[in-house]
Amino acid sequence: MKYFYYPGCSLRGMGKAYEESWLKVCQKIGIHLEEIEDWNCCGSTTYLGFDEIKSLVLVSRNLAMLEKEGGSEVITPCIACYYLFNRTNHNLRDYPQLKTETNKMLQEVGLTYSGNVKVRHPLDVLVNDGWMEKISQNIEKRLERFKAVCYYGCQLLRPYCEFDNPKNPKNMDILVSLTGVDVLDYPLKTKCCGAIITSNIPEKGLELVYVLLKEARKRKADFIVVTCPLCQFNLEFQQEKIMKVYEEDVGLPILYYTQVLGLAMGISLKELGITRCLTLTPEFERSLI
Amino acid sequence: MSTNNKEIRIGFYICHCGTNIAGVVDVDKIREFIAKKDNVVVSRNYKYMCSDPGQELIQKDIQEHRLNRIVVASCSPLLHEKTFRNTLEKAGLNPFYLQMVNVREHVAWVHSDNEKATEKAKALCNAAINRVRYNKPLEKKRVPFHQDVLIIGGGIAGIHSALILASAGKKVYLVEKKPTIGGHMAMFDKTFPTLDCAACILTPKMSAIKENKNVVLWTNSEVIKVEGYVGNFKVTIKRNPRYVREDLCIGCGQCIESCSYKEAKYPDEFNLGLSKRKPIYIPFPQAIPNSAIIDDKTCIHFKMGKCKQMCLSACERNAIDFNQKEELREIQVGAIIVATGFKIYDPQKEPEYGYGVYPNVYTSLEVERLINASGPTAGEVILRDGTKPKSIGIIHCIGSRSEKANKWCSRVCCMYSLKLAYLLKKHTHAEIYNFYIDMRTPGKMYEEFYDRLLMERVHFIRGKVAEVTDISLVKEEEGKLILRVEDTLASVIRRIPVDMVVLSVGLEPSEDTQKLAHILNIGLSAEGFFQERHPKLAPVSTFSEGIFIAGCCQGPKDIPDTVAQAGASAAEAMAMIDAGYFEIEPITAHVLDEFCSGCKSCINICPYSAISYDESKKKVFVNETLCKGCGTCSATCPSGVMKQNLFEDDQILNEIEGLLVYE
Amino acid sequence: MAQELPNKSVIYERQLDVNFADLMQSMPGGENLRRCIQCGTCSATCPFSHVMDYTPRKIIYLIREGFKEEVMSSFTPWLCASCFSCRVRCPKEIKITDLMYLIKREAIKNNHYPPKTPIVSLTKESVKMIHKNGRISEGYLMGIVLLKVSFLKLLRMSGLGLKMLLTGRFPLIPEKIKRHGELKKILAFSNKK
């Protein structure tokens, strides 16, 4: 089955491993992805602090090109892109004036956007489009020896999540459970990790990440599973400093759900980008093999 | 009838309503404009038409100028149509020769351009002049009024209404869905602001119900059908089986002792599940009727069909009757008082507050039971985990004042939160934190009670707690529930660890409100409570004559206001009963017999079942007492022979013409 | 040295901008701002409110009353992580996160923001990069922002940068789109207006 696909800048940068593992999993279960040709950055929330209409145009160019190719849905694994795409659709619908202006700008290069492309996240597609059976069929080595918590973060759930319960999401838990990993209850799963702030003003947000790690450790998790490149980075790079400040060993590997699925499917650590992990200790690496 | 008929003599009056109308509409211009119209003998403007001098003006004109049609341009006919009809009557004119024009609500209050508003008023007044020529004299009819009253709901409102009516010698049917009367008030510990014990002031009234010969009390019962009309309602009531005969049971409790279940196992409804009961139980010690009841969902006899039936043999009075069946009773009443109360907001809708997740998070109603001497812990405040709280957080406005839950302020929560703070402090000596958005204490001695609480060293933090968690950041927080809140007055974020959280939940319409509204044919307001006829001037009436509402089923309110409404609705019902008859408006439909083809199109479409078919004549006929004059049948009749008084074709068509061509 | 009294005084009405709330309310996302009942749920649920100079609730209040200067020079909007916790909890459905964007836009448009705020530099630099390349290269972006804010910080973070380089997560060649002219043309059109 074919889906249109928008990777987003992060998946070509710090979230490289996310894309690598996601593509591998897709290949394994038979999802064909067609990348939007010559896509551009969605602007992320940072751009929203600069200009409303240009932000809408940045997103709309991508979706207009997709519509030109005959698409009506797009998968975007990055949660910032997921939010921006949904926001664009909502604002084009809620403010007809903005839609007119946006299309006026797009028409400069012969494009036009309806505002109706359905935005999908892999956690939506994999669970709701019936791929779970395919995933189960492809599982070669069950990961029953591991305990983990699933951490969803913010922009996937807020404010536009329609495919899962935004106050108590389950889809990632369901998918990771398929591999045999014991998914633990984690009340912090929808909290903010503060990445956009902490990666720029680290001293202000240490506590957020500390609590996330501490509570995962308290629950005896072997790793935290995430769905956002920025969460992954933020939860990783602060660990050293946190352990110094709080004088407590709260270190944990941070993996993408696609990496966990890939591991259970017998795909190599390197192919899944797990070797790009900053928190990959030799012991943990050994335990994965 | 020609429009130039010299016999028609019209008087026109436009009211200033102070500046309400005259501030926008040029009343002099209207007066002059109408004065020139055919048949208009008198045209005047006056400051307040509804005042005594205003009405006398009309009366005098009618007599001096032999007027026989009157048009008053003022406010909505809902307010003063009755007033001016009386004026006509006093002057010896049939009251239905009056036509009102609403130039206040429909013109002055909704337009800002004075010139355009005046033009609109001109058109409306001209339309009325055009129409009033065709108005016909009509006679009001009187129907006899049945003397008995039905009261639905046995909380404090229903009890109070019933006692007033019964003391005046009226027969009252009090119908309650639960096995006992008493409602929410019976569950409360103390009442604010006087702190008198709720049971002590309520139970004498409950006993009085039991003892009063004029009250027929049906608990475990529901109203399922209401037919008829004001003065003559026919009501069907379903009496669910209790499996214990109320007339024999004396509430000794032997049956409960001997039940096959040695231990109480099922959540006790009265204590909100904080304690357990057996399948046979008495809801609480002062329940009325003080009679046991068997819950057929949990009783072994009903579940499996084989039980030793120890209760049966234990009862010396042979009150237990496993063969009781559901019964339907039909009664005739003249008026109905609805007093079905409220239900509390379900805090599980907002998982952030941890209700149902953390055992030490309670609703305010649960806390009422917890501190009550006859409650699950005999009045000792012991938490679900067996500990005694040393610190307690009370969070106001749960489910209230929010677009995401209920938009309204539930009115009683601030005061009951203060009361609970006081009682919890007395019981536990704990540190108590109240988290409020705005402290609302309007009521006699209410602010004084707040003042008293401030002196009790209770914390008042202005800010709504966003979440309750057990995730600790510092040592003192370990094992506690942590409340994160913005102290909005200090403009800082605080984390406050407590042992117990009380959620001050709001009030919302009780479960069957919508169903009952449908059965009774009464309206609901936007928030889902029963709609009163007028928010200020008819607060206990509904749009259905003879049906009244009292207490929280109309909107959240405290006990004093509930009792006041209960008294008011009893008085209003009594006024109708004692008149002995009810006057019905003659604005009803009637058939021009000779032309009716008997197609019956009108019968099914009538929302009040007022039209029937006469087999012998092969024609339909209208029951005028049932007809509400909605006009649906006249619009439907394919032969155009269903007519409606005061809304006949020539009246409406001329009115429309007057609206379109007025200069 | 004796401690000085804080430099505070009575606020006169002329010091306030009566049109500020109207301006904010008129923009997409600002519609509900006047409905605020100051309950503070937004601030209590915000993961960063404790480090903000004004809490989100207070920002809304200050906008409503016309304290433009205080709002524009506040760090609060620049500390908003766009996590939408407030947005989904606000009982009056105020789009608080969007309100923060509105403030930031006004700030950047009028060059009116607190000095040396890394997120201001991040916003400006990322916009520049998107306009130039059509995409963001996070490694470069972080480097530039750190350099703008403080060279020392850049040095301190260099260890991390190196690690990211070695794990291939900060690619050496910046990402660029092919039809860059197309994007430029679209974005330029809006400036013409």
DSSP string, B199-214: HHHHHHHHHHHHH-TT
Neighbours of chain A (3+ CB pairs under 8 A): B, C
Q: For B5-24, what is the mean pLDDT? A: 93
Domains and CATH numbers, chain C: 13-109 (1.10.1060.10), 118-192 (no CATH)
pLDDT per position as a tens digit, A202-218: 777 788 999 999 999 99
Contacting residues for A178 by C-beta, under 8 A, at least 6 apart: A132, A135, A136, A139, A261, A264
Any chain B CB within 8 A of the CB of A269? no
Cβ(B176)–Cβ(B218) under 8 Å?
yes
Q: Do domains A36-120 and A140-288 have the same CATH topology?
A: no
pLDDT per position as a tens digit, B292-305: 999 999 999 999 98
Cβ(B529)–Cβ(B509) under 8 Å?
yes
> Which stretch of B255-259, B360-364, B626-630 has the lowest confidence by average pLDDT?
B626-630
Domain boundaries, chain B: 10-138, 149-240+329-341+510-581, 241-325, 344-508, 585-645
Helix residue spans in chain C (DSSP H): 20-26, 41-45, 56-65, 68-72, 76-79, 85-89, 96-109, 118-133, 138-149, 151-166, 180-192
What is the reported pLDDT for B1? 44
Neighbours of chain B (3+ CB pairs under 8 A): A, C
A50: nearest CB among C84, C105, C169: C105
Selected for mutation to probe chain A from B358, B469, B471 (highest A CB count within 10 Å) is B471
Domain A36-120: assigned CATH number: 1.20.1050.140
Any chain C CB within 8 A of the CB of B466? yes
Query: Position of tokens 């004084």?
Result: B448
CA gyration radius, chain B: 31
Q: For C168-193, what is the mean pLDDT? A: 84
Interface of A with B in 137-176 (CB under 8 A): 167-168
Going B162 to B166 to B168 to B170, the CA torsion angle's sign is positive
For strand B459-462 and strand B467-469, is the pairing parallel, antiparallel, or unpaired?
Answer: unpaired
Q: For B344-357, what is the mean pLDDT? A: 97
The DSSP secondary-structure symbol of B405 reads S
Contacting residues for B480 by C-beta, under 8 A, at least 6 apart: B391, B470, B472, B497, B498, B499
**Residue B375 is encoded by which pair of tokens?**
């409650």
B-chain residue closest to A208, CA distance: B473
C168 chain-A contacts, CB cut-off 8 A: 16, 276
Residue A12 scores a pLDDT above 50: yes
C91: nearest CB among B403, B462, B491: B403
**Mean pLDDT rounded to a whole number for chain C:** 91
C47: nearest CB among A52, A194, A200: A194
Interface of B with C in 333-352 (CB under 8 A): 352
C182/A109 touch (CB, cutoff 8 Å), yes or no: yes
Any chain B CB within 8 A of the CB of A188? yes
> Which stretch of A179-193, A249-263, C46-60, C113-127 has the lowest confidence by average pLDDT?
C113-127
Q: How many residues are given for chain C? A: 193
C177/A40 touch (CB, cutoff 8 Å), yes or no: yes
What's the CA gap between A151 and C8, in Å, rounded? 46
C91 chain-B contacts, CB cut-off 8 A: 401-405
A-chain residue closest to B353, CA distance: A167
Selected for mutation to probe chain B from C31, C37, C41 (highest B CB count within 10 Å) is C41
Q: Which of B378, B486, C74, C138 is nearest to A10 (CA)?
A: C138
Q: Is B4 exposed, middle or buried (0-12, 13-18, 19+ CB in 10 A)?
A: exposed
C149 — pLDDT class (breaks 50, 70, 90): confident
What is the reported pLDDT for C190? 66
Residue B70: strand pairing partners: B11, B98
Amino acid (1-letter code) at residue A10: S
CA distances to A204, A210, B201 from A198, in Å: 6, 12, 60
Angle in degrees, CA B565, B570, B571, rounded to 5: 95
CA distances to B244, B278, B377 from A85, in Å: 65, 57, 55
Cβ(B127)–Cβ(B30) under 8 Å?
no
**Residue B601 is encoded by which pair of tokens?**
């199109």
Top-tier CATH class for B149-240+329-341+510-581 = alpha beta
Any chain C CB within 8 A of the CB of B471? no
Residue C193 scores a pLDDT above 70: no
CA gyration radius, chain C: 20
Helical pair A52-68 and C180-192, crossing angle rounded to 10 deg: 140
Query: What are residue A23's phi and psi, to 5 degrees?
Result: -65, -40
The DSSP secondary-structure symbol of B538 reads B
- Local structure of A47: helix, strand or coil: helix
Going B152 to B154 to B158 to B163, the CA torsion angle's sign is positive
CB atoms within 10 A of CB B205: 18
pLDDT per position as a tens digit, B511-533: 999 999 999 999 999 999 999 99
Going B240 to B245 to B247 to B249, the CA torsion angle's sign is negative
What's the CA gap between B389 and A98, in Å, rounded? 55
Selected for mutation to probe chain C from A16, A21, A35, A40 (highest C CB count within 10 Å) is A40
Interface of A with B in 219-248 (CB under 8 A): none
Cβ(A58)–Cβ(A40) under 8 Å?
yes
Domain B241-325: assigned CATH number: 3.30.70.20
Q: Is C184 exposed, middle or buried (0-12, 13-18, 19+ CB in 10 A)?
A: middle
CA distance A84 to chain C (A): 11
Cβ(C104)–Cβ(C114) under 8 Å?
no
**Mean pLDDT rounded to a whole number for chain A:** 95
C39: nearest CB among B463, B487, B492: B463
A-chain residue closest to C138, CA distance: A13
A14: nearest CB among C82, C87, C138: C138
Q: For A28-45, what is the mean pLDDT? A: 96
Residue B2 scores a pLDDT above 60: no
CA distances to A58, A98, A107, A281, B498 from A113, in Å: 11, 12, 9, 47, 53
Cβ(A81)–Cβ(A89) under 8 Å?
no
What's the CA gap between B306 and B527, in Å, rounded? 48
Query: Position of tokens 């209920």?
Result: B406
**Residue C14 is encoded by which pair of tokens?**
């002329």
B351: nearest CB among A167, A188, A211: A167
Instruction: Report the CATH fold assignment for B344-508.
Output: FAD/NAD(P)-binding domain (3.50.50)
Residue B3 scores a pLDDT above 50: no
Q: E strand or H helix at B233, and its extent?
A: strand B232-239
Q: Which of B336, B325, B330, B341 is nearest to B174 (CA)?
A: B336
Top-tier CATH class for B585-645 = alpha beta
Q: Which of B178, B184, B182, B199 is nearest to B379 (CA)?
A: B199
CA distance C19 to chain A (A): 21
pLDDT per position as a tens digit, B157-186: 999 999 999 999 999 999 999 999 999 999
Residue B150: strand pairing partners: B173, B336
What's the CA gap between C162 and C160, in Å, rounded? 5
CA gyration radius, chain A: 19
What's the CA gap between B66 and B86, in Å, rounded? 17
Cβ(B551)–Cβ(B557) under 8 Å?
yes
What is the reported pLDDT for B336? 98
Terminal CA-CA length for chain B: 23
pLDDT per position as a tens digit, A70-98: 999 999 999 999 999 999 999 999 999 99
A53/C190 touch (CB, cutoff 8 Å), yes or no: yes
* CB burial string A24-63: b at 16+ within 10 A, e below: bbbebbebeeeebeebbbbbbbbbbbbbbbbbbbbbbbbb
What is the reported pLDDT for A273? 95
Q: Is B374 exposed, middle or buried (0-12, 13-18, 19+ CB in 10 A)?
A: middle
C134: nearest CB among A40, A52, A98: A40
CA distances to B16, B78, B111, B132 from B120, in Å: 16, 20, 10, 18
Q: What are the E-state strand segments in B386-472?
A: 391-398, 431-436, 459-462, 467-469
What is the reported pLDDT for B4? 54
Residue A33: strand pairing partners: A3
| CATH architecture group of domain A140-288 | 3-Layer(aba) Sandwich (3.40)
Contacting residues for A164 by C-beta, under 8 A, at least 6 apart: A123, A124, A157, A170, A171
Q: E strand or H helix at B77, and its extent?
A: helix B77-90
pTM for the full predicted model: 0.89
A207 chain-B contacts, CB cut-off 8 A: 473
What's the CA gap between B183 and B340, in Å, rounded? 9
| High-pLDDT (> 70) share of chain B, % | 99
* CB burial string C65-83: b at 16+ within 10 A, e below: bbbbebbbebbbbbbbbbb
**Mean pLDDT rounded to a whole number for chain B:** 95
Terminal CA-CA length for chain C: 57
C171: nearest CB among A13, A57, A61: A13
Selected for mutation to probe chain B from C36, C39, C96 (highest B CB count within 10 Å) is C39
Q: Which of B396, B397, B394 is nearest to B433 (CA)?
A: B394
Q: For B407-422, what is the mean pLDDT? A: 98
Neighbours of chain C (3+ CB pairs under 8 A): A, B
Helix residue spans in A113-256 (DSSP H): 122-128, 132-137, 171-177, 195-198, 206-218, 229-237, 239-246
B471: nearest CB among A167, A168, A211: A211
Domain boundaries, chain A: 36-120, 140-288
Domain B10-138: assigned CATH number: 3.40.50
A-chain residue closest to C177, CA distance: A38
Q: State the virtual CA torsion across C24, C26, C27, C30 in degrees, nearest 10.
A: 60
C87/A106 touch (CB, cutoff 8 Å), yes or no: no
Residue A139 scores a pLDDT above 50: yes
Q: For A123-129, what is the mean pLDDT? A: 97
What's the CA gap between B57 and B48, in Å, rounded? 11
